[in-house]
Chain A
């Protein structure tokens, strides 16, 4: 029966979501289900029953008049001839998700390395070797940049998912929704721990500064702070990247068509294009501000404050943008 449902979803995938179309789909499904059940009760195998039902279904062209979908049918025909809307098959989607996990690891590691790199000048400054510290910092940043480049290079293979018109069928959409549902608890845990780490990162600074005996106290405090922030940001970026990939897949269907509604409620859209843009330029901007400020003032012991602030701000912005768009949907 699943096969029949998927077949019908596929047939209607690019049709507009008007009441007439949805009713027709419902009625056709009922007829097919009745026929299927009867064939099964006559002792046919599942395969035979599905084959018969599908071969006797007919053609959507016949419904063009009554459903007023001439335009869509014609579009479908011309699309099939010229540039078809690419249907992502389940295996393809699984491969893509595997890549997304690798990408999430890489991006998160890269961003964490950049934050950690700040520790180098702070530590070496304490032993009056600032130049070595700065050099080490650049080495770490370059490593991160190398990771980013490799990821960007490998991502090209999957560009078509976000750039070309694509479709996912009902079964694939279900698979992704389930994957997302499973990921949700880990996502919430990672974001929560990330926020807590950033929020609590000033505590070591405070504690270590208050111990009068060691002059290195504040420096160690800042180093610990940066490590906490780096781990926190690692968690945000990791969880966020995977979640974005899942949402990207759930959004590939045209929202105005029947296929756009498979998982309508499960797809939190960022607040339009601007929301997505803010998210995508957020960390590069923070990084630039940090580097510019630091190099203009050379006050590394002050400029780290950007990272905990940025971490918390990121969590707030991304949840705000997501909430708004869920209301819209």
Chain B
């Protein structure tokens, strides 16, 4: 994979870690490493989530009842791991975050030079 010159600022992306995790959990329960692997492959290695970031998101979202954790050894019957699944409230929160992102993207994009393509699509 080619190195990106511009690294993702963790400040900017912080607000959307939850969205990424919830997106993956909407497709079924999963555990820590699998989720981080999915984030990495979906973003084509452009974003690699840190273990501490991931764990702090799990804990926070579980406290807010967006996700639930449980012990499971998975389909392969391997090692017991902590799995997470999304809740009703988590679904609602995910939808809110998606709407929020659309708005954010719309607003910020208007100030990005050379970003006309995105602008045209969005604002047409």
- Shortest Cβ distance from A54 into B: residue: B51
CA of A24 to CA of B37, assembled, Å: 19
Given known A30-B32, A31-B32, contact A62–B52 (CB-CB < 8 A) = yes
Nearest-neighbour CB distance to chain A for B80, whole angstroms, equals 9
**Chain B count of residues within 8 A CB distance of the other chain:** 20
A79 at the interface (CB under 8 A from B): no
B52 touching A60 by the CB < 8 A rule? yes
A63 touching B33 by the CB < 8 A rule? no
A27 touching B55 by the CB < 8 A rule? yes
**Chain A count of residues within 8 A CB distance of the other chain:** 20
- Shortest Cβ distance from A66 into B: residue: B59
- Shortest Cβ distance from A24 into B: residue: B55
B56 touching A63 by the CB < 8 A rule? yes
CA of A31 to CA of B54, assembled, Å: 10
Given known A30-B33, A30-B81, A35-B36, contact A63–B55 (CB-CB < 8 A) = yes
- Shortest Cβ distance from A26 into B: residue: B82
* Residues of B with C-beta under 8 A to A57: 50-52
Which B residues form the contact surface with A (CB < 8 A)?
31-34, 36-37, 48, 50-56, 58-60, 63, 81-82
Which A residues form the contact surface with B (CB < 8 A)?
20, 24, 27-28, 30-32, 34-35, 38, 56-60, 62-63, 65-67
Chain A to chain B contacts (Cβ below 8 Å), 17 pairs = A20-B59, A28-B51, A28-B52, A30-B82, A31-B32, A31-B33, A31-B55, A38-B37, A58-B51, A59-B50, A59-B52, A60-B52, A62-B53, A63-B52, A66-B55, A66-B63, A67-B59
